[in-house]
A and B are shown apart, each in its own frame.
Chain A
Amino acid sequence: MAILECKALTKRYSTKEALASVDLKVEPGRIVGLLGPNGSGKTTLIKLASGLLTPTLGQILVDGRVPGPATKALVSYLPERTYLSDWMKVKDVIDFFADFYADFDRVKALEMLARLEIGTGDRLKTMSKGTREKVQLILVMSRAAKLYLLDEPIGGVDPAARDYILETIIGNYCEDAAVMISTHLISDVEKVLDDVIFIASGRIALTSSVDDIREEQGKSVDTLFREVFKC
């Protein structure tokens, strides 16, 4: 069964249509890139899947269920912008996650933090943007979730931090879970993706496996993206 399924999913903000009748299925065990230009509906889709927004029309199902407390326990969501308060210390956010999520692996999180030499007494406020992003990713990937929704996980960080983040994702997701990564930095994520979804103005422009794109079109996803979304 698909871990994420959208049926004629539509979301309007007053008059603006952010998603227009999206049909989509994401199977377990796949790493999927949600790729599209700014304002194409990537964040809206992810917020609908994580239960932060409700559909205007149509349906979105996580593990066969309408988003709610039960699906939130299965979904590990990394928002584009941080929701952690910057007065918090690393140990506070760890307690926070342990409190909220039964599937949070504290030992795993502590190990990853120690490897980066981030102390549990460190305050989020004093961290660089890159370090803060890494801390958040470590928290999100330390859950044994069924669906990881990562909204622009490599957006604002340098190439070395991007590598770390991608390695952490592929090294830590549960094998039977699905990972959805939204980004417009395609050449950076291409190697780690199984499938891609191109989204344009709230509509699905293309879904394919990365191998098929390379095999059938003889070009990278990045090149294809530039062609599809040529301004």
Chain B
Amino acid sequence: MAWDFETDRPIYVQLVEQIQLRIVAGEYPAGSRLPAVRELAAEVSVNPNTMQKALGELERMDLVRSQRTSGRFITEDVNKIRMIKENLAREQLARFLEQMQAIGYNREDILRLLETLPENETKGEETDGHSGM
């Protein structure tokens, strides 16, 4: 996953979203240790204070916890991660439905279309969607 930022929203907000995405995608597995703020900031090429702010936000959401001496860890609460994953999926779905409605597709039309779509095509679109996020 590449780190991409929109230019018109605060970077820390986008960092929170993108780190969340990496957690639910398993790139940062439950219970794993996060790199140090500075390292992470350099990897993403953002200001360390901005990264700190984003991690603070994730801590408030109980997705990340900090252990005074050994650093920051992703939560071990897999249920919580699953819940966030589900929420993200619902958001995506709502957006998708909205766009389909705009071009005149209702639920049945969409389901019918999904049935006719060959398996490998769906896969291709999934990876496309991923790299675009």
Proximity string of chain A (157-192) to chain B, C-beta cutoff 8 Å, 1 when within and 0 when not? 000000100110011000100000000000100111
Question: B11: CB under 8 A from chain A?
Answer: yes
Q: Are the CB atoms of B7 and A170 closer together than 8 Å?
A: no
Q: Which of B39-47, B66-74, B82-90 contacts A (4 or more CB under 8 A)?
A: B39-47
Chain A residues positioned under 8 Å from B47 (CB to CB): 31, 170, 191-194
Proximity string of chain A (137-171) to chain B, C-beta cutoff 8 Å, 1 when within and 0 when not? 00000000000000000000000000100110011
Q: Which of A175, A190, A191 has the most CB of B within 10 A?
A: A191
Closest CB in chain A relative to B9 CB, distance in Å: 6
Interface size class of A (residues with CB under 8 A): 20 to 34
Q: Are the CB atoms of B49 and A30 closer together than 8 Å?
A: yes
Given the complex of chains A and B, what is the CA–CA distance between A195 and B9 in angstroms?
15
Nearest chain-B residue to A171 (Cβ)? B42
Given the complex of chains A and B, what is the CA–CA distance between A193 and B8 in angstroms?
15
Q: Are the CB atoms of B46 and A220 closer together than 8 Å?
A: no
Closest CB in chain B relative to A21 CB, distance in Å: 30
Nearest chain-B residue to A187 (Cβ)? B7
Question: A95: CB under 8 A from chain B?
Answer: no
Question: B10: CB under 8 A from chain A?
Answer: yes
Given the complex of chains A and B, what is the CA–CA distance between A148 and B38 in angstroms?
18
Q: Are the CB atoms of A194 and B7 closer together than 8 Å?
A: no
Q: Are the CB atoms of B12 and A211 closer together than 8 Å?
A: yes
Q: Which 6 A-B pairs have the closest CB atoms?
A: A220-B7, A171-B42, A211-B10, A214-B10, A192-B47, A191-B46
A-B contact list, 12 entries, CB within 8 Å: A31-B49, A163-B45, A166-B45, A170-B38, A170-B41, A170-B46, A170-B48, A191-B47, A192-B45, A193-B47, A214-B11, A220-B8
